[in-house]
Amino acid sequence: MMDESERAVQAAIDGEMRLLDPEVRASPARVLALLDPEFTEIGASGRLWDAESVLTVTSSGSVSAESPVKVSEMSGVVLAPGVVHLTYFADNQGRRAWRSSLWRLTETGWRMYFHQGTSTG
């Protein structure tokens, strides 16, 4: 049986994996439902993103069912009640990066508040 912290981490992992799902990414409404209204991202390119700019990328088909993002070494920790930090390694068609996300519990559920990618060799 999972305790509250384990459930929180699992909810954040589930949300993260949904955001990587090509079907979810193709739907701006589904993506926005997972992003906090104050969402920001520092991409692996160094570019600063907000929710609207991320929608352009997620709906572009950069991730497809034929070439999904490969995720490994996913781990999470509760930083405070209602705040989870996730880290993992992602390989998107040879573009490899360490990823870090902050998820927070809102009235509508767990939503990604911040994301950062760091390219690797």
pTM for this prediction: 0.89
CA–CA separation, 118 and 59 (whole Å): 22
Place of tokens 């384990």: 6
- Alpha-carbon distance of 17 to 33, in angstroms, equals 14
User: Would you say residue 61 has pLDDT above 80?
Assistant: no
Q: Which residues pair with 85 in a beta bridge?
A: 77, 102
DSSP for 21-85 reads -HHHHT-HHHHHHHEEEEEEEE-TTS-EEEHHHHHHHHTTTSSBTTBPPEEEEEEEEEEETTEEE
Mean pLDDT of 26-30: 91
Decide if pLDDT at 63 tops 70: no
* pLDDT tens digit sequence for 75-117: 999 999 999 999 999 998 888 899 999 999 999 999 999 999 9
Task: Please give the pLDDT value at position 48.
Answer: 93
Mean pLDDT, residues 21-46: 91
DSSP state letter for 94: T
pLDDT in tens, 37-51: 999 999 888 889 998
pLDDT, position 25: 87
pLDDT at 64: 60
